Structure 1
């Protein structure tokens, strides 16, 4: 099943709207980049605010035993739509899709703010994921469209500044809302921010619009969505104590996954333009980079997803302080991202960074296995800094490698596929390891409240609705029991994650070294003119317009740009 659209539409010189390619001057690149920053600020700020408010949200809505669903729902939704945004961006252009993603994210935030029930909140959080997935994928793909791979490192600085701003501002806002207002304001704040981001993107995101010339793989989209959903539900049901791995419904989801996955591969092997081209998996460079992203996603999100909760409940810090204690991780991530990006731009070599990064992440993970209620705050900050530093050497590098390994016309699809498998890993990690954490935690909390004199039913009810505010009102003996329960439930999770980091390290050893492309994706596809030629044409156009003459013309079909072959591996060593 598929649909067909009409042919590609050309754009006016310099503006994206008529009969010639876009002029990618340095000024225009930064204008477009500002729109991407606005969208990413919206998404990243939300993540840091919500992570800080999470314990209060689940306590208020009575969902402590199911809190993993909040993260799983968001990740599942964003994962499903990633390949859709990537492929459709390649086919019809990315500007309108970016605007849709911002609008969807903002409207879903309104639903989260108005939620009065735990599962209602989970649904709206998943709808946020539909928009958040688009913001993540389209931002990365647009950067690849306008900036050559060999020059992309210098743009990591502004991106790092955005994540740094979110890392500082998010916890402060989240803590302020929780401590002085209500957690609902963690989502109300997204409304004005979302409107502002939409306005900036509307005026600044000057990209050419296109109409698809190939069939849209509707059946492939449906089967990929079914495959992803069945896999996540299989792991969620299996790790949930209410169902377990032996339950018929768990294995029904598992069977659904196998059927959907087999059907997806069959359909994609025969599709005219598949949502995920199977040819990607014959590309060693792409496969290795994507596999690292999958394994790292599995470990990364599971490791950091519950740390703010641990800090609030086990260490007794406030919501604002627990969020700010995540700042060392962001400092480490930003610092190594900028350093690695700069070095890659200067040398063109990237192989060493994922290898070193996985070692650093493993060291941090090993340290976090020792977390306990008595662990000093400064030591937790050191672990988080080292963890972030390792991630900064890996995350952007594997995306860059995957983008550089495919032809320019497939850069959006490659970006989304790489991120898709990373998010699948994240969904699995949060579902499986989150279930292990919450299962141990629920048992321990029930024992604590039962030991305090409550009945079994009262103990179960209390354990499902405990939050940091209520914790402070309990007798000291009960507080100590709860603190130990959180610490004892989380630290073993890091032991389970260490083998996956070891797998990522082995995979990193096999990343081939390729020459990075020296032209932007849009230039290589003939949709834009870049570099000094674009600057000269822009000056000519302005001079002509100032003199009252017609702007200098640009051929609607410029000469093909010479690019490095993406399948040519350069034999190098570390």
Structure 2
């Protein structure tokens, strides 16, 4: 005797999957999630060496910004494509794009190529993240979803702990290029597993037209906005024609985007999802947390390697407290939400911990010990664990099932948008502060600062080392100060989130059960 449930037309209820079906399908999703998470974790410890090798300190932020920007712009597009053509084909397509970008990034010969191919990786990564969340949202009702999402985070130690270690080990013992090539074998496994495990997912109708105009306008205003935060005050004066032109282009493209989304039959980002207050608040929280966390953590290895003297491998190890705390808290919060149905406390606690930890990071100096920074990272990781799945869960519980792909894409878009602006703005602040500090340091450094690697720094005289380490510290504390202020706004946003009952499974009248 077996049972298989399908949704009744017009109910708007998710299909009823057995626990076994869910676990088999999630095995493919976990591998794909590992693919996306490993890339971020592996590349971070390698960045100081990559930038020093290719010679581009001024372009440091764009190695990450290019990735996150492409991921941000493509996220709502992938979500809508999943609604139209089905999750399986769009999800697998995103894996293929991601792998192609990884292979090309590993072959980069200069910073321009690396940034372009990282953007290609980001294009695929946007589909990976929204694909996993949308598939889980389609399979499992919100009340039960938290325990499965918590379980997914519980099996992430390979990415969270092994990623930084692998990235550091690869950089120290092989070539940084293998930080990208390592994605290929894992990606091949993900493709095979997902091809079979996602076969039973519903297929989209494919009859609706894709809002390519909206997608183009979305890309234009996002890119222009990120360029403003990256170039303003550094590459160009804020009053320069270039920056003013970008501001005008951003506003014009945004207004045009909103107008198009109101008029087309199948908008790339349905504005109706923004009519729910909780959805807007969870999206705002995702934006703020993305800005503060991603923007700040991207530059933490700079301090660990240049100031604390850690190797790339050890800087990966030093990230373990944050990763372990995030994993443990995410699992615990998912279990609690699944049992109680209450989630309001987690955004508040998470936002508070993130703001507190970033504020503490803003007090570090050249003498700060690794134990001290490890404690700060535990606080940051705990805050991340409280927000990782909760903001997405609140967003998905606030929209109708028909908009699960577009709504999840919009929520993920806001988080990625925060990350894009965080990396670009904080990166610009870091570079500007470091450069200003070096110019007044009083000790000549051989070569240019953008050619500096940890190995080169160790060969310099003590006075020159101290000058550069002080400059790095000044840059890092500046960006942590700004990130902490932004994170503090998240506490206010979290306080306004309302506790709304989580939807459970459909009733018996809504489900057709076939017995064999």
TM-score interval, normalised by the smaller of the two chains: over 0.9
What does 1:163-182 align with in structure 2 at a 5 Å threshold? 163-182=156-175
Cα deviation, 1:454-511, whole Å, max 9, x if unaligned, reads 6xxxx6x520110111112222221122111111211122222232222111111111
5+ residue gaps, structure 1: 1-12, 542-574
Cα drift, residue 447 of structure 1: 5.0
2:326 to 319, 327, 333: 333
1:231 to 218, 222, 225: 225
1:219 to 207, 210, 213: 213
Cα separation, 2, equivalents of 1:185 and 1:511: 43
Cα separation, 2, equivalents of 1:219 and 1:371: 47
Cα drift, residue 311 of structure 1: 0.4
Superposition TM-score, scaled by structure 1 size: 0.85
1:435 to 416, 428, 432: 428
Runs (4 or more) in structure 1 with deviation over 3 Å come to: 13-16, 445-448
Is 2:485 the counterpart of 1:510? no
Superposition TM-score, scaled by structure 2 size: 0.94
Cα separation, 2, equivalents of 1:109 and 1:479: 34
2:258 to 265, 269, 286: 265
Cα separation, 1, equivalents of 2:59 and 2:213: 32
Cα drift, residue 247 of structure 1: 1.9
Match of 2:202 in 1: 208
Match of 1:56 in 2: 49
Contact kept in structure 1, 2:150 and 2:333, CA below 8 Å = no
Question: Which entry has the higher C-alpha Rg, 1 or 2?
Answer: 1
| Paired positions, count | 506
5+ residue gaps, structure 2: none
Task: Give SS of 1:30's match.
Answer: helix
Match of 1:451 in 2: 443
Cα separation, 2, equivalents of 1:336 and 1:253: 41
1:480 to 466, 477, 488: 466
1:466 to 447, 452, 477: 452
Match of 1:494 in 2: 480
Match of 1:392 in 2: 385
Task: Give SS of 2:338's match.
Answer: helix
Q: Quick check: 473-482 or 414-423, which moved more?
A: 473-482
Cα drift, residue 446 of structure 1: 4.9
Match of 2:311 in 1: 318
User: RMSD of aligned C-alpha atoms?
Assistant: 2.1
Contact kept in structure 2, 1:357 and 1:393, CA below 8 Å = yes
Cα separation, 2, equivalents of 1:366 and 1:236: 23
Contact kept in structure 2, 1:163 and 1:330, CA below 8 Å = no
Cα drift, residue 156 of structure 1: 3.2
Cα drift, residue 418 of structure 1: 0.8
Match of 1:151 in 2: 144
Cα separation, 1, equivalents of 2:43 and 2:467: 26
Contact kept in structure 1, 2:290 and 2:416, CA below 8 Å = yes
Structure 1 residues 162 and 70, CA, compared in 2 at 3 Å: closer, same or farther? farther
Cα separation, 2, equivalents of 1:204 and 1:365: 41
Contact kept in structure 2, 1:406 and 1:414, CA below 8 Å = yes
Cα deviation, 1:337-369, whole Å, max 9, x if unaligned, reads 111111111111111111111111122112111
Structure 1 residues 60 and 509, CA, compared in 2 at 3 Å: closer, same or farther? same
Cα separation, 1, equivalents of 2:104 and 2:450: 23
Cα drift, residue 95 of structure 1: 0.4
Match of 1:29 in 2: 22
Cα drift, residue 163 of structure 1: 2.9
Cα separation, 1, equivalents of 2:120 and 2:295: 21
2:403 to 400, 410, 431: 410
